[in-house]
Chains A and B, each alone.
Chain A
Amino acid sequence: ENVVVVEMARRYDSRTTTFSPEGRLYQVEYAMEAISHAGICVGILSKDGIVLAVEKKITSKLLENISSEKMYKVDDHLACAVAGITADANILINYARLAAQRYTLTYQEPIPVEQLIVNICDKKQGYTQFGGLRPFGVSFLWAGWDKNFGYQLYQSDPSGNYGGWKATAIGANNQAAQSILKQEYRDNMDLSDAIKLAIKVLNKSMDSTSLTAEKLEIATVSRRDSQLEYAMLSAATVEAVLKELDLAQPQGEPA
Chain B
Amino acid sequence: MSIMGYNGSAILAMAGKDCVAIASDRRYGAQYQTMATDRQKIFKMHDKLFIGLSGLPTDQSTFFEKLKFRVAMYKLREERDIKPAAFSKLVSSMLYEKRFGPYFIEPVIAGLGEDNKPFLFSSDLIGAPLVPDMDTNGFVVSGTCTEQLFGMCESMWRPDLEPEELFETISQCLLGGFDRDCASGWGGTVHVICPDRVITRTLRGRMD
Contacts and interface: CB of A to CB of B under 8 A. Distances in A.
Interface of A: 66-67, 73-75, 94, 97-98, 101-102, 104-105, 108
B73 A101 contact: yes
A108 B65 contact: yes
Contact of B68 (A67, A74, A104): A104
Contacts of B68: 104-105
Interface string B54-76: 00000000000110110011001
State the majority secondary structure of interface residues on B.
Answer: helix
B72 A75 contact: yes
A105 B65 contact: yes
A88 to B, nearest CB: 17
Given A75-B76, A105-B69, 20 more contacts: A66-B79, A67-B79, A73-B76, A74-B76, A75-B72, A94-B77, A97-B73, A97-B76, A98-B73, A101-B69, A101-B72, A101-B73, A102-B69, A104-B68, A104-B69, A104-B72, A105-B65, A105-B66, A105-B68, A108-B65
A106 B79 CA distance: 24
A102 B79 CA distance: 20
Report the 6 A-B pairs with minimum CB-CB distance, sorted nearest first.
A101-B69, A105-B69, A97-B76, A101-B72, A105-B65, A101-B73
Nearest to A73: B76
B53 to A, nearest CB: 17
Nearest to A106: B65
A4 B69 CA distance: 48
Contacts of B77: 94
Which interface residue of B66, B76, B79 has the most chain A CB atoms within 10 A?
B76
A104 B66 CA distance: 10
A152 to B, nearest CB: 20
Interface string B63-104: 001101100110011010000000000000000000000000
B46 to A, nearest CB: 13
Contacts of B66: 105
